[in-house]
Amino acid sequence: MENLLTSCFVLAVVLATATRLWLALRQIRHVRLHRDSVPAGFESAIPLTAHRTAADYCIAKTRLGILDLMIGVVALLGLTLGGGLQALHDALAAVLDPAGLWHGLWLIVGAVLVLAALELPVTLWRTFVIEARFGFNRQTLGLFLADLARQGAVGAALGIPLIVLVLWLMAAMGPEWWLYVWGAWVAFNLLLLLAYPTVIAPLFNRFTPLSDPALAGRIDALLARCGFRASGLFVMDGSKRSNHGNAYFTGFGAAKRIVLFDTLLARLTPAEIEAVLAHELGHFSRHHVWKRVSILFATSLVLLWMLGQLAGFAAFYEGLGVTTPSTAIALLLFFLVVPVFTFFLQPLASLLSRSHEFEADAYAATHSSAADLVRALVRLYQDNAATLTPDPLYSAFYDSHPPAATRIARLQEATG
């Protein structure tokens, strides 16, 4: 049985990796092929130099993604079939009771730290080479390291209690432990959604009330038309890390906030900002956030049930390179391996996300100006160096937003 699982795992890794490489190479080839010609409909708005910059930026990111992919595959195989998890288990067993909760906790923490350390060089290169080369990075090394320390502290403060609770539930709740763990996971995520705007986000950025009374009045009028209530309008100092612009809503219930990046305010007109926010309001009006959360919770329930069935079989561990079963090992193995087998479901998730974007655009066209949203999107595509010519298959597989030409064509139809 373990040989069959090993064979299935290796086959899945090979197929997923080969597909990802093929898609990345398609993307690079397609973007390079269209680098020297601005797509029809964008010629008057986006200069050829900006289009070429976006193509080069896309190609650079995709190439780095290939390196990141290969590092991830080596790490996955090293931790599983290469015996990495077993070696970490044995090293900790020399100082901690291998049947105890603390051994399981530090085994999971150790594996997470190994993966984070392998990812760090890629993140540094992305931030200080690629983002800097194209004029987007504004982080200093000191700020990057401070962010890393804060992320580690927040991750430990939130993650360690959750891991301890999950391991305890797995050991104490019998065969139905997976249902109790799912309940804890749901509660944790809802608490995180509630706490993020006011507790976690301010640890990394400064949020100040929107000081432009004319813009604030315009946004208040939009909220009134849409029947939407928020706890405040805030400007985030995104420019201290990046030159990219964005806007978003966060929180739920009475804790909902509207957040505008300072870089966005510097680039768009008030009418364009209103149209962008109308799009975001469309996501709330169409309940996209809760639909996605519901899918996440339903998927996690199914996955935890599957883990509950597999955790009692020795072949599950032996087929993935581990000879000493434990609850912590079961968790690690399962969530390391699951992405390989679910990779080919990615286009479905992307399709759902793109349909939500079309719905939000339609909402914005109804409650604001479709023409203003078009102008805002074109400006954001240019300022963020987003390619206008992605490979169609790559885009269908990965992209959470529709291609620029398709999206803007639909909005232009709404303008009559």
User: What is the tens place of the pLDDT at every residue in 24-57?
Assistant: 999 999 999 999 999 988 988 899 999 999 999 9
pLDDT tens sequence across 367-403: 999 999 999 999 999 989 999 999 999 999 999 999 9
Overall average pLDDT of the 311-319 stretch: 91
* C-beta of residue 52 within 8 angstroms of C-beta of residue 36: yes
Q: What is the pLDDT of residue 1?
A: 58
User: How much is the pLDDT for 255?
Assistant: 64
The pLDDT assigned to 226 comes to 85
Quick one: average pLDDT of 209-215? 88
How confident is the model at residue 414, as a pLDDT? 72
Task: Please report which confidence band the pLDDT of residue 184 belongs to, taking 50, 70 and 90 as the band edges.
Answer: very high
pLDDT at position 254: 61
User: Would you tell me how many other CB atoms lie within 10 Å of the CB of residue 119?
Assistant: 14
User: What token pair was written down for 338?
Assistant: 């699951």
Average pLDDT rounded to a whole number, residues 282-290: 89
DSSP string, 207-251: EEE---HHHHHHHHHHHHHHT---S-EEEE-GGGTBS---EEEE-
Task: Point out the catalytic residue in the list 131, 272, 274, 280.
Answer: 280
Confidence of residue 243 (pLDDT cuts 50, 70, 90): confident
Q: How far apart are CA 83 and CA 301, in angstroms?
A: 29
- What is the average per-residue pLDDT within 298-323? 93
Q: Which of 120-129, 153-162, 251-260, 320-329 has the lowest mean pLDDT?
A: 251-260
Residue 220 annotated among the catalytic residues of the structure: no
State yes or no: is 361 an active-site residue: yes
Residue 60: band (very low, low, confident or very high) from pLDDT cuts 50, 70, 90: very high
- How many CA atoms lie within 13 Å of 114's alpha carbon, on the beta-carbon side? 19
Is the pTM value of this prediction over 0.75? yes
Catalytic, out of 361, 372, 383, 391: 361
pLDDT single digits (tens) 334-365:
999 999 999 999 999 999 999 999 999 999 99
pLDDT number for residue 295: 95
Mean pLDDT confidence for 190-195: 87
pLDDT over 90 (residue 170) = yes
Contacts of 303 (CB under 8 A, 6+ apart): 334, 338
| Helix extents (H) in 286-369 | 288-310, 314-318, 327-342, 346-367
DSSP state string for 48-105:
HHHHHHHHHHHHHHHHHHHHHHHHHHHHHHHHTTTSHHHHHHHHHHTTS-TTSHHHHH
pLDDT for 155 equals: 94
For residue 228, pLDDT over 90 is answered with no
